Structure 1
Amino acid sequence: MANNWLDISALDEVPEDDVLGVDTGGKDVALYKVEGQVYATDNLCTHGHARLCDGFLDGFEIECPLHQGKFDIRNGSPTCQPVTEAVRTYPVRIENGRVFVDLG
């Protein structure tokens, strides 16, 4: 595995249709599982600096718990005001029941 892929969670620790915050020891990442697929974003809202893992996941949208702005977890794009700046997303792969995220 390339050095930029980081093992950050067991697959079964990521709840279906919910979000899990993971501190990787240098970056706070939010993991989501929707329709069996895992997605990863920065865990910090680009608008209010709240942790997205404390928000509400509805389909592919995560709602910030502070000002109710929303992001598409698949590409990070803002989908609802007051959010205007995308949240960073990361490639994910599953291997041997573990979630690997490319933070590079």
Structure 2
Amino acid sequence: MNFKNLAERLGLDEEDIVEVAQLFIQTAPVELEKLTRAHQTRDARLAAEAAHSIKGSSSTLGLDDTAKLAQLVVRNGREQDIEALDQSLPRLIGVLKATVETIAEQIRDRQR
């Protein structure tokens, strides 16, 4: 993620984008827990709820692939398509974990 380019694209200060990214990585564990619980219990409503939150924050940060995958989980959840969720939820969980790690690393690199 290029904080400077994203800030310019959104017409914001780069530090504001970094703050949004920090908030994203701080709230992600809660959403990951919800997604994991939804997958384990096959709770389509919970999956859609958590994925909707991820979709919004991912879109704000320009994480288009994560947002698209979250939108797929939202759709699968709203349609109560448990078989599709069995495929899409683990993918979203993995992508979100990797995304959080990448952003956290980039923030740490900025602070050095």
TM-score by length of 1: 0.32
More helix by share: 2
Structure with higher strand content: 1
Give the structure with higher Rg (CA). 2
Q: TM-score scaled to structure 2, two decimals?
A: 0.30
